[in-house]
Amino acid sequence: MSALSHGGIRRHVRSYIGVFAALAVLTLVTVAVSNLRLAFFFAIAAALLIAVVKASLVAGFFMHLAFERVIIFVLLFFTFLFFLALLILPALS
């Protein structure tokens, strides 16, 4: 049987529902921003900002990274640096 109490399970379910609602709202915001006919740079910047927030919510709550140890964040940081290198290095050549 689970080690969580009934109140603990309710709290987790409430947080999952909150994250789902935030993702739904951010999806609507993405659609609204795409209909604004912004300049290319601002449209891409807005879409990437919204996507980063949504990915952070998914990784933090649904993948349980918000409650992990420091080593996970160190690995994620180096993964992000490697990702940036893969984006920037081809642009420099």
Residue 14, pLDDT > 50, answer yes
Residues 33 and 58 in one domain: yes
Residue 88 domain boundaries: 69-93
Residues 86 and 56 in one domain: no
Is the domain of 28 the same as that of 56?
yes
> Using CA atoms, how far apart are residues 80 and 85, in angstroms rounded to an integer?
9
pLDDT-derived band at 24, boundaries 50, 70, 90 = very high
Cα–Cα distance, 40 to 71 (Å, whole number): 38
Do 41 and 85 fall within a single domain?
A: no
pLDDT, greater one: 8 or 52:
52
Q: Are residues 56 and 74 in the same domain?
A: no
